[in-house]
Structure 1
Amino acid sequence: MNLEGMPAADVDHPNAAIRISSWAELLDALFADSWVPEIGRYRSRYAFRGLSDAGYPLETTLIRLGGDYAPLERHLLRNFRKYAHRRVVERDSVWHWLSVAQHYGLPTRLLDWTYSPFAALHFATAHIDKFDRDAAIWGVNYIEAHRLVPDILRSRLELEGANVFTVEMLSESIKSLPELEQLCVQPFTLFFEPPSIDDRIVNQFAFFSMSSDPTLSLDRWLADYPEIWRRIIIPAELKWEIRDKLDQSNVTERVFFPGLEGLTAWLKRHYSPRD
Structure 2
Amino acid sequence: MRIDEPAIKPLDSALSLFDEISSSLVTRSSRFGFRGQSDESWELTPTLSRYKNVLSKRYPENTIPFSFNGHVSTRLIESFRENLTINSDISHEDINRMDLWQFGQHYGLPTPLLDWTYSPYVALFFAITSGDYFDKKRSVWVIDLDLLKSVNEFIQHDIYMKNPDAIELVKLSFPLVHPISAVEKYNKRLAYQQGFFTNHGDYYSFEAWAAAVTANLLHN
Q: TM-score with structure 1 length normalisation?
A: 0.56
**Deviations 1:55-96, CA, capped at 9 Å, x for gaps:** 111111111012236130011111211221442874624x61
Q: In the TM superposition, what is the alpha-carbon distance from 1:24 to its structure 2 partner?
A: 3.8
* SS of corresponding position for 1:47: strand
Q: Aligned ranges for residues 19-98 of structure 1 at < 5 Å?
A: 19-31=10-22, 32-36=24-28, 45-65=31-51, 66=53, 67=56, 68=64, 70=69, 71-85=71-85, 86-87=90-91, 90=94, 92-93=96-97, 96-98=99-101
**Superposition deviation, residue 16 in structure 1:** 2.9
AA of the residue aligned to 2:72: L
- Distance of aligned partners of 1:57 and 1:145 in 2 relative to their CA distance in 1, 3 Å threshold: same
Contact between 1:88 and 1:100, CA under 8 Å: does it hold in 2? Answer: no
Matched with 1:252 is none
Q: Find out whether 1:207 has 2:196 as its counterpart.
A: yes
Deviations 1:209-265 (A, max 9, x none): 112x4123112334576xxxxxxxxxxxxxxxxxxxxxxxxxxxxxxxxxxxxxxxx
Q: Residues 124, 82 of structure 1: CA spacing in aligned structure 2 closer, same or farther, 3 A cutoff?
A: same
Structure 1 counterpart of 2:134: 131
Contact 1:52–1:123 under 8 Å retained in 2:
yes
What letter matches 2:209 in structure 1? Answer: W
Structure 1: 5+ residue runs without aligned partners?
1-10, 38-43, 155-178, 226-275
1:107 deviates by 0.6
**Does 2:179 correspond to 1:191?**
yes
The 3-state SS of whatever aligns with 1:105 is coil
Q: Percent identical across equivalent pairs?
A: 28
Secondary structure of 2:73 counterpart: helix
Name 2:163's counterpart in structure 1. Answer: none
Report how many residues are paired: 182
Which residue does 2:218 correspond to in 1? Answer: none
| Shift of residue 148, structure 1, vs aligned partner | 2.2
Choose between structure 1 and 2: higher strand proportion: 1
Distance 1:64 1:185 in 2: 19
Answering whether residue 8 of structure 2 is matched by residue 17 of structure 1, we say: yes
**Structure-2 separation of matches of 1:215 and 1:99:** 17
Unaligned ranges ≥5, structure 2 = 57-63, 158-166, 215-220
Distance in 2 (alpha carbons) for counterparts of 1:92 and 1:124: 34
Q: 1:103 to 1:22 in 2, by over 3 A?
A: closer
The aligned counterpart of 1:270 is none
- Residue in 1 that maps onto 2:61: none
C-alpha RMSD of matched pairs (Å): 3.3
C-alpha displacement at 1:118, in angstroms? Answer: 1.1
C-alpha distance in 2, partners of 1:50/1:88? 35
Q: Cα offset for 1:18?
A: 0.4
SS of residue matched to 2:132: helix
> Do the aligned partners of 2:4 and 2:207 also contact (CA within 8 Å) in 1?
no
Map 1:193-272 to 2 at 5 A.
Answer: 193=181, 194-211=183-200, 213-222=201-210
The two structures have a TM-score, normalised by structure 2, of: 0.68
Q: 1:17 to 1:152 in 2, by over 3 A?
A: closer
Q: What is the SS of the residue equivalent to 1:137?
A: strand
Paired with 1:220 and 1:59, the residues of 2 have a C-alpha distance of 9
* Counterpart residue number, 1:267: none
Q: SS where residue 143 of structure 2 aligns? A: strand
More helix by share: 2
CA contact (8 A) 1:116 1:205 kept: yes
